[in-house]
Structure 1
Amino acid sequence: SLAVPVPCPLTDRLADIARRHGMYIIAPLYERQGDKVFNTSVIFSRKGEIIGKHRKTVLPVMETWLVTPGDVYNVFELDFGTIAIATCWEIVFPEISTIFALKGADIIFNPTMGRENKQGESLATGHRYLTRAVDNRVYIAPVILGSDGNGLIDFRGNVVAEAVGEKNTVIMAEIDFSAEPLSEGTWWPTINGTANEKAIHYLSRRPETFKLLVDPTPPLLERFKNVKLTTGDREAQLRAVKKVDYGP
């Protein structure tokens, strides 16, 4: 009953806020399209226009009995840089962040319900976020519902800004997305022909050796051949969420 079409009165209100303040807004919501529901992040421009949306592609079991996964990894070129959105659990899968980086994302926003930092401690303890940032040479911006661990991490894994505690907070940081990660000293640029670490990283890739990453039946799955997830079993999922007091 909370799912809405896009656009709708709710998105109209968000569009008005974006327009009045001249800012971009990323709004996660449940989107209804026909008989399907998607976990969608809607992007509003500074003029209050809907300029894009990302539908969550990988769903935890408690979403699969209501939500349809998306299957597209778009990036969005804005007037300050190129952004991407990894919704909640998507940040757990390293391939997704890498796809966004390969498409040119400067920053990946992660609206989520689950923190990565140690409760009550700095975002610097959110090792998964730091890893995604450093591995892909992108900024990561976790936005966590009702919890600490919100902030901004740069492409070297440094916490640029964060909200400490669980109170409503506005985080502000000035970022120059034109600044590339450059190696200090002379040895690395002399050997490689450039000081640009991001260029070295991506020009050195050998995608022809990565085929196992897209193999639907890799050898590891043989170990789990007798494991059955509740995905697709609505009744089993409903029993499970009631047992742990999560959901209806």
Structure 2
Amino acid sequence: MRVALIPMKVEAGNFEANWKEFERRFEEALEHSPDIMVFPEYCLTGFDEWDFSGAKLYDEIVDRVSALAKENSVYVILGLLEPYKRCVYNSALLFNREGEVILKHRKFQEPMKFCTGNTVRTARTEFGKVAIIICGDLYNKRILKWIKRKKPDYIFIPMDRSPWGDFNLEEEIKCMGGRIKLLEVKTFIVNSYAHWDSFGGAWVFDENGNLLAQSTGDNILIFDYFFKPCCLERNAAQT
């Protein structure tokens, strides 16, 4: 299983610019023949507090990404704003190789003006059982309980994280690893880049919370899991 984690540059409120960047990074990642591409949280619209207008693009985003996934026979994960009745979810989708949406996650850890999710679902792939959570969900107690119940083989986390307070990236990574150790699931994380002051980067952790690979800024992280009957080999490359 080859995963491409893509810390895409995101411009709040500029869908066409973001789509061009998405296509450019998609093509860049394709050069490495990934099985799964992972893009950040609301990567095609960005988000400006409390501007939910990007949710109107939900159907168009689904159609465009579906076509790319099908055309290139690749799984795609990305975050987007999802309209629902009179509110909006911060959501993430998994498209399969046929361009079908096979998994949706609605973020739990959100301020009051968003609708919030209340369940974690999984999807079966040829690589095992997959779950998605979003950014601050990693630290949510209910998410921990759901992950323990669902027992996915992998978790993918689209993120939009900016530095605030006494921010220290090394400590941030250590905190992520500590939380993943509690989840006991192999985890892939990708952050947006230059969306306001988000710092980009991507990280891969094993089920014990050990950091296996990382990239910085807008560098794509390519990570391989090689399956054998009795063991699991790992390899990583940064581009």
Same fold judged by TM-score > 0.5? yes
Show the counterpart of 1:216: none
Kept in 2: contact 1:57–1:71 (CA 8 A):
yes
206, 210, 232: which is aligned to 1:154? Answer: 206
Taking the TM superposition and a 5 Å limit, the aligned residue runs for 1:98-177 are 98-114=145-161, 118-119=168-169, 126-146=173-193, 147-163=199-215, 165-176=216-227
Higher strand share: 2
Task: Give the unaligned 5+ runs of structure 1.
Answer: 182-248
Show the counterpart of 2:106: 55
- Displacement of 1:95 in angstroms is 4.2
Show the counterpart of 2:91: 40
TM-score under structure 1 normalisation?
A: 0.61
Higher helix share: 1
- Distance across 2 between alignment mates of 1:80 and 1:162: 22
Show the counterpart of 1:19: 70
Number of residue-to-residue matches in the alignment: 172
TM-score under structure 2 normalisation?
A: 0.63
Which structure has more relative contact order (CA 8 Å, sep 6+)? It is 2
Cα RMSD (Å) of the superposition?
2.7
- Displacement of 1:175 in angstroms is 4.9
Taking the TM superposition and a 5 Å limit, the aligned residue runs for 1:164-203 are 165-176=216-227
Task: Give the unaligned 5+ runs of structure 2.
Answer: 1-52, 194-198, 233-239
- Displacement of 1:37 in angstroms is 0.9
The one-letter amino acid of 1:38's match is: Y
- Runs of 4 or more off by more than 6 Å in structure 1? 177-181
- Displacement of 1:54 in angstroms is 0.7
Question: Greater CA radius of gyration, 1 or 2?
Answer: 1
- Distance across 2 between alignment mates of 1:46 and 1:107: 18
Assess, with a 3 A threshold, how the Cα gap between structure 1 residues 98 and 152 changes in structure 2: closer, same or farther: farther
